[in-house]
Amino acid sequence: MSEAVVARAYGGPDVLSVIEVAVPEPGPGQVRIEVRAVGVNPVDHKVYSGAFGTDPANLPMRLGAEAAGVVTAVGAGATGPAGPIAVGDEVIVYRAPGAYATELVVPASSVVPKPAGLSWEQAGGLMVAGVTAVHVLEAIGLRENDSVLIHGAAGGVGLMAVQLAVERGATVLGTASPAKHEVLRELGAIPVAYGPGLADRVRAAAPAGVQAAADLVGTDEAVDVSVELVADRSRIATIAAFERGAGAGIKLLGGGPGADPGAEIRAAARLRLTEAAAAGRLRVLIAGSHPLREAAAAHRRIMAGHTTGKIVLVP
């Protein structure tokens, strides 16, 4: 039996509990994973908060989308994007529905090798933020020598987007609270404090103008300032402000209403991300970890919105 975190009702983190679930033997094209770390993402809370509906048929609801662990069994023909998978392989799993668990059975197509240089916590927190960042930068058509404004640059997705944009040769302006500015500087970004006067501060930091913008926080300020500073709205995207973004005519990305899920882009990004992480070109910053049974505490931290980097669960 495996332990898994479920939401027994719609609401806040108090509705989460741990249950025992049976773990089947992997069938053809499947693998079983002993989970060592699980990435926590804002959407994990949103799905049981009621933001995407409150259908009682979906309860109790398993949570999570990414994990890292060790392969303990393989079905016939278990081949992933990087080749055949064997018992004992250290791997990253994405997509991994129900990842908040001690064991998982997943399609081999969801499994990629874990870079040896990454800790389990880093490996567990790489994929959702990483593939989202890749999707955002592709959607806004980021090019070398562009100046790009990234709202929420010190969050999980933001830190990935900053690094990937810098690697592309862009000038990155990242919004964050002053306490997080040094981290952004270390990663090659120009930090800018959010709040009243943001547009003027961005203009001062980028006197030649801003060609693209990514809203990773969903605030009115992020949408308004992006639209004010970027002439071409097709080069502005949001992963959070779906209603405001639709009204402003900017790109909606991810799992929200009317958004482009970017499934092919995100799937193709996985091996690029692990290669970049293995080569040291991409860092996974961990804000903290919690035992699996403390998933509610991890969600409260995510909901507070003040973390720098990823929160992970460790079974």
What are the tens digits of pLDDT across the range 199-257? 999 999 999 999 999 999 999 999 999 999 999 999 999 999 999 999 999 999 998 88
Task: Report whether pLDDT(304) > 90.
Answer: no
CATH of the domain spanning 129-252:
3.40.50.720
Classify burial at 76, counting beta carbons within 10 Å of its beta carbon; exposed 0-12, middle 13-18, buried 19 or more: exposed
pLDDT at 102 over 80: yes
The pLDDT, as a whole number, for residue 31 is 98
Q: What is the pLDDT of residue 111?
A: 98
Residue 113 banded pLDDT, cuts 50, 70, 90: very high
As a whole number, mean pLDDT of residues 83-109 equals: 98
What is the mean pLDDT of the segment spanning 59-81? 97
Is pLDDT above 90 for 51? no
**Whether the predicted pLDDT of 52 surpasses 90:** no
Lowest mean pLDDT among 10-14, 29-33, 161-165, 300-304: 300-304
* Residue intervals in the chain for CATH 3.40.50.720: 129-252
CATH 3.90.180.10 residue ranges in the chain? 2-126+284-314
Report pLDDT for 175: 98
Q: What is the pLDDT of residues 126-149, one digit of tens each?
A: 999 999 999 999 999 999 999 999
Contacts of 268 (CB under 8 A, 6+ apart): none
Does residue 305 have a pLDDT over 90? no
pLDDT at 154 over 90: yes
Res. 41: pLDDT tops 80:
yes
pLDDT for 152 beyond 90: yes
Mean residue pLDDT of the chain comes to: 97
Q: What whole-number percentage of the chain has pLDDT above 70?
A: 100
Q: Say if domain 2-126+284-314 classifies as CATH 3.30.300.30.
A: no
Q: What is the mean pLDDT of residues 67-71?
A: 98
When mean pLDDT is compared across 41-55, 92-106, 133-147, 168-182, the lowest value belongs to: 41-55
| Mean pLDDT, residues 61-85 | 98
- Give CA–CA dist 156/132, Å, rounded: 10
Q: What percent of the chain has pLDDT over 90?
A: 96
Q: What pLDDT is stored for residue 103 in this prediction?
A: 98
Tokens of 230: 């970027």
| Residue of 110, 109, 159, 307 lying closest to 150 (CA atoms) | 159
Q: Please state which of the ranges 22-36, 171-185, 292-306 shows the lowest mean pLDDT.
A: 292-306
> Which residues, 6 or more positions from 37, have their beta carbon under 8 angstroms from its beta carbon?
67, 68, 69, 119, 120, 121, 123, 124, 125, 289, 312, 313, 314, 315
Q: Which two tokens stand for residue 32?
A: 């079983």
CA 107 to chain centre: 20
Does residue 306 surpass a pLDDT of 80?
A: no
The two beta strands, 67-74 and 30-40, are antiparallel
In this prediction, residue 70 carries a pLDDT of: 98
Average pLDDT over residues 6-27: 97
This prediction has a pTM of 0.96
